[in-house]
Amino acid sequence: MIEGSCRFSLFFQITLVNLFRKPRLDVCLLRQALSDVVQNLKGGIFIATVIAAAVGSALMGFVAKYPFALAPGLGINAFFAYTVVLSMGYSWQFALLAVFVEGILFLILSVVPVREKLFNSIPLSLKSGVAVGIGIFIAFIALQGGKIIVANNATIVSLINFHMVDMHTNGIWAILTLLGIIVTSAFLIKGIRGAILLGIFATWLLGIVTEFVGVYVPNPEAGFHSVIPQFGDYLQSLDRSFREFGVTCGALFHPESWTLTRGDAIVGQGFSLIKSLDFFVVIFAFFFVDLFDTLGTLIGVSLRGGFLKEDGKLPRISQALSCDAIATSIGAICGTSTTTTYVESAAGVAYGGKTGLTAVSVALFFLLSLLFAPVFMAIPGFATAPALIMVAYFMMTSIAKID
């Protein structure tokens, strides 16, 4: 029963920390890449993200039998939206086609297997270093989400200055993040089962209280939404989202939507774009980012979970890489950018996830989350940031294995 409760906490923790953090950013980025005609596809992109993540995670669990979950990668997502669509001028449908082709290419190299040899050629000490680097990266993301690290024109980033921010938004957000770190740390020190999950809920509850008493004041335009679940006309909203998904799903297979614009003029369209050098440049850009992103994640999470052999090799790596490649192509068909194994899988591994059952359960929660979206969407960044920071700490303990 203890093991069962631990797994339940693990599954829910992965879902809470990552499910609506990634799709929410995924939607924000991709909406900026959509043309005026289809500007209102937020729900469709959201469902595409959920389906891609669910299918990819399920494949990883059933085929590779590893507790690695998949979702659209944020770094590749930004490249998709800002570089390929906004800067280069290609339509989002054509960009999805490039992602689809990249996934097929990735699958071929996984079966060959070129990617496996590349993974096994990396020394164990370097793999340990990658795990530490991923831990630092996760901590940085968490501190940004918790508003403790903020943008600075002079130094790029800096710590929050409570004397220069609105205490009803940024200020209280950062304070709640710090309180969440303290609460979650206390739960872990006490050895409470489900400590990280309980830390998320405890911090979220503190946020709800601050909103009720007027200390935290939502400001959607500035990115500070209500932390209280809003159900409203959710069923109607869900129906609209599925209709929007009908637009994004399969959009890459319509050549008439493949366009290249310069300013307000369309200078290229249809199959002629496939012959351009830029198309192959975009494919290889997606390919190399996805390649090293996936390898880095597999190294870091596998090292943390003890999946690597003494010689540093990962069993069934071809299956894991193939699942990643298939999920990328499926995600492109659904209407989202490159799907990849994501680093927050370390949260589940650090908490005891060892088998593919973890990934399969995460996939189920991804699908079930469609019915409880108002609840999950209300979970704020200051509630999930402490959990990610704890996971980052666990990842950084691999520094002791570096020679």
Give a three-class secondary structure readout of 94-125. Answer: HHHHHHHHHHHHHHHHHHCCHHHHHHHCCCHH
Element (H, E) at 264: none
What's the rounded Cα separation, in Å, for the pair 97 and 101?
6
Which residues neighbour 300 within 8 Å (Cβ) at sequence distance 6 or greater? 127, 130, 131, 133, 134, 135, 343, 346, 395, 398
The model's pLDDT over 167-205, given as tens digits with 9 standing for 90+, comes to: 999 999 999 999 999 999 999 899 887 788 889 889 999
The model's pLDDT over 347-369, given as tens digits with 9 standing for 90+, comes to: 777 777 788 888 888 888 888 87
Q: What local confidence, expressed as pLDDT, does residue 281 receive?
A: 85
Element (H, E) at 85: none
Q: What local confidence, expressed as pLDDT, does residue 39 receive?
A: 47
Rg (CA), the chain: 21
Burial class (CB in 10 A: 0-12, 13-18, 19+), 143: buried
Q: What local confidence, expressed as pLDDT, does residue 40 receive?
A: 56
Which residues neighbour 90 within 8 Å (Cβ) at sequence distance 6 or greater? 84, 258, 259, 260, 273, 278, 282
Element (H, E) at 156: strand 156-159
Q: Please state the φ and ψ torsions of residue 265, each to the nearest 5 degrees.
A: -105, 140
Element (H, E) at 243: helix 234-248
Q: Give the largest CA-CA distance in the chain.
A: 64
For Cα atoms 339, 238, 341, give the angle at the middle one, nearest 5 degrees: 15
Residues of the chain short of pLDDT 50, as ranges, are 1-6, 10, 18-19, 22-25, 28-29, 32, 35-39
Cβ atoms of 374 and 333 within 8 Å: the answer is no
Count CA atoms closer than 13 A to 371's CA, side-chain side.
4
- Which tokens sit at 130? 């990658």
Q: Which amino acid is at 370?
A: L
Quote the DSSP letter at residue 192.
Answer: -
Q: Is the dihedral of CA 210, 213, 214, 220 positive or negative?
A: positive
Q: What local confidence, expressed as pLDDT, does residue 288 receive?
A: 77
Q: What is the pTM of this model?
A: 0.74
Q: What local confidence, expressed as pLDDT, does residue 30 receive?
A: 52
